[in-house]
Amino acid sequence: MTINFIGLGLIVLAAILIIVMNIIHRKRPYRGFRQAPAFNKLRQAIGLAVEDGSRVHVALGNSSLTGQQGASGLMGLSVLDRIAQYASISDAPPIATTGEGAFSILSQDTLRTTYRNAFASDLYDATQGRMTGTSPAAFVAGTLPVIQEEQISANILMGHFDTQVALLADAAEDRNQFTLAASDSLPAQAVLYAAARESLIGEELFAAGHYLQVSPFHSASLRAQDILRWGIAAAIVLGALYKLIVSLGIL
């Protein structure tokens, strides 16, 4: 019970910090962060896709909405929303693939809402959000034809994957397609680091919303994370000093 209260307290503290950081930096929410060349290249790839009439493909993997992997899939949806905004002036809308039913419905809803807000509802097609397989292997097998046959020029692999995801990155590279990859799975991160043209490591996955300027709250959350990290680090150091002092009999 105590642990639950501690976890709840951390969640409330993080929420408060995000709101405070958003208020403090509301005029320039995206300033003060290091550069991320991978996202600059992604913007260039999206621009080229719009110019030449090709498609952008967003793969959300086998993220489960109700499981621990849900956060990575939700970040992938935020990226899909932003990419759909960029591509709303193109005749070739982006395609989203997923290996979980709830995320398939959410991807369709994300695309529909984005195009409606851009007054381009005629560009929306429900088949743009697809569930290609319910297991990691089936997802990869069902997604390969999308990369190979749908006039894709850029791929964003963002979600929960197994090591088979390397096949998707390899297929994209064979066709000289840009690939930005990120996952919450350590084995998938390892293979994507070697196979993808651009890869994000660890928590860089959750910074995607900031670098694509999805919402100021994404930037505020990164600032809140930094504050919490420093707070935890300070608590560890103070705890170690306290134990040292007690062991020496000073207290």
My answer on whether 38 and 141 are in the same domain is yes
248 domain-assigned = yes
Q: Average pLDDT, stretch 107-131?
A: 86
Give the tens place of pLDDT for each residue, 138-165: 999 999 999 998 889 999 999 899 999 9
My answer on whether 248 and 206 are in the same domain is no
Number of domains in the chain: 2
My answer on whether 111 and 74 are in the same domain is yes
CATH of the domain at 144: 3.40.50
9 domain-assigned = no
My answer on whether 118 and 195 are in the same domain is yes
Tokens describing residue 240? 């170690």
My answer on whether 60 and 178 are in the same domain is yes
d(CA 210, CA 222): 8
My answer on whether 248 and 128 are in the same domain is no
Strands (E), 64-218: 95-98, 129-131, 152-160, 178-183, 198-199
pLDDT exceeds cutoff 70 at 23 = yes
pLDDT exceeds cutoff 70 at 99 = yes
Would you state the pLDDT for residue 209? 81
d(CA 226, CA 144): 38
54 domain-assigned = yes
pLDDT exceeds cutoff 90 at 13 = no
My answer on whether 107 and 70 are in the same domain is yes
My answer on whether 233 and 184 are in the same domain is no
Tokens describing residue 165? 């995801």
Confidence of residue 251 (pLDDT cuts 50, 70, 90): low
d(CA 36, CA 175): 25
My answer on whether 147 and 165 are in the same domain is yes
The pTM of this model reads: 0.83
My answer on whether 165 and 233 are in the same domain is no
Tokens describing residue 46? 């999206």
181 domain-assigned = yes
Give the tens place of pLDDT for each residue, 65-82: 877 778 888 888 988 988
Domain that holds residue 87: 34-214
Q: Average pLDDT, stretch 120-133?
A: 84
74 domain-assigned = yes
d(CA 206, CA 225): 11
pLDDT exceeds cutoff 80 at 52 = yes
pLDDT exceeds cutoff 90 at 210 = no
Please provide the average confidence, as pLDDT, over all residues in the chain: 86
My answer on whether 204 and 84 are in the same domain is yes
Confidence of residue 246 (pLDDT cuts 50, 70, 90): confident
My answer on whether 190 and 236 are in the same domain is no
Identity of residue 224: A
pLDDT exceeds cutoff 70 at 1 = no
pLDDT exceeds cutoff 70 at 193 = yes
pLDDT exceeds cutoff 70 at 240 = yes
Q: Is-contact 101 68, C-beta < 8 A?
A: no
20 domain-assigned = no
Q: Is-contact 45 90, C-beta < 8 A?
A: no
Residue 95 Cα to chain centre, angstroms: 16
Confidence of residue 191 (pLDDT cuts 50, 70, 90): very high
